Structure 1
């Protein structure tokens, strides 16, 4: 095993957090700002990238960290290491209502591709990189953009998504069409493409957008019932837009948008 072996427990229902149990010298890597709480004896360190290539030299670290900028993430991540003699616990919270999905990458052939803001935390050694969509149409109209995240390794990783999460296993040749924003993650063998909605009336007045994602098996896919972008747009649309209230609406929208 190249990755640290960590134990975990997920708490909550709609606003979940994951508690990771660290043995002495074990380390977990998380997105900046994901920390909820940690016990005494755990040390924090800010690093470039995900820490999976610490022996690659300065330029290698800078390159790996720079790739994260393409997904809209921070250049830096945070490691949490148990420096004590006994077991210690550190917890990470989901940033909005939804579910945390634990993934043992060794069960998925060492790689999972996910939407660019889904990653929450992982055992040290898991590589958090970028996955470029090879098809031009997928890149322009895929809802999640031309770039997605890829998680590689043989350890535990945790991703989060909105609403209820449904995991579906596709058989070879089996096709599933989903709203582009509802796709959370998929395994390496799933073929992902974008198709335009057929019919002018359906495309213009259906209210579901002009494009949907077509997933072709074999492989596993994870679907979310409430993409955060959909939640934020509905909240913003429901806020009165009068002159006096406009600043309040803008402030709330910026709050949801992470600004």
Structure 2
């Protein structure tokens, strides 16, 4: 049974999550996500399931190790995490089921939650989807926290209900959601639409999470603006 953890999400446009750990409680997080930790919090690293798990993450472009934080004191202590780029933090209760998310969306989770590498079921989704061929699989019976750029929108799809999403805006979805990639309709739309050639097609039942400002889109705008300014000087 995974730990039920107390947490607080702070910030308005730039979220962080502050988790209060009782004595003996622990959380795990992506390396580099730590913002602060109070005394009595012990930090350690592991492969999160053996050398093979670490190698799978490394091959997927992830970090080999995961970082754990455990309260070894006698009173509650706090530890906080924030992403490497601006955005919001979304708690996900995995007791409702397994969740798949893009590989840079996972921030931290309660002890007992399994974070593993998963492969999309369809090659088209792997070659053309914004999440790539490899996703992260979050499973267990506790809380996990995903990070996304801009505002996070949660949508519950009924059985058979379909939603098409820009591949970069898709953050995660329930295991029961059918996920595939489809071409944008019409030759003109494909060439001049400005939305790319492919959209993610998701069919319910299940939850879907989307982000309003993917970091890749934000970075492209910054690079374009910088190039214009350099050209004008």
Normalised by the length of structure 2, the TM-score is 0.96
Determine the C-alpha separation between the residues in 1 that align with 2:215 and 2:31. Answer: 19
**1:70 shift after superposition:** 3.2
Aligned partner of 2:115 among 128, 153, 169? 128
Where 2:227 maps in the other structure, the secondary structure is coil
Matched, 1:178 2:165: yes
Which residue of structure 1 aligns with residue 83 of structure 2?
94
Tell me the secondary structure at the aligned position of residue 172 of structure 1: coil
Does residue 81 in structure 1 map to residue 70 in structure 2? yes
Query: 5+ residue gaps in structure 2?
Result: none
Stretches (4+) displaced over 6 A: none
CA RMSD of aligned residues (A): 1.4
Measured after TM superposition, the shift of residue 137 of structure 1 is 1.0
Tell me, in whole angstroms, the C-alpha distance in 2 between the residues paired with 1:164 and 1:100: 9
Residue 126 of structure 2 corresponds to 139
1:200 aligned onto 2:187? yes
Q: Which residue, 198, 217, 220 being the options, matches 1:230?
A: 217
Q: 1:142 offset after TM fit, Å? A: 0.8
Contact 1:132 1:147 in 2 (8 A): yes
Distance in 2 of aligned mates of 1:152 and 1:176: 24
Distance 2:60 2:5 in 1: 26
TM-score, normalized by length of structure 1? 0.86
Equivalent position SS for 1:20: strand
What residue is the counterpart of 1:24 in the other structure? 23
Equivalent residue number for residue 140 of structure 2: 153
Please report how far the alpha carbon of residue 94 of structure 1 lies from its aligned counterpart in structure 2 after TM superposition.
Answer: 2.3
Count of paired positions: 231
Residue 163 (structure 1) aligned to one of 150, 157, 166: 150
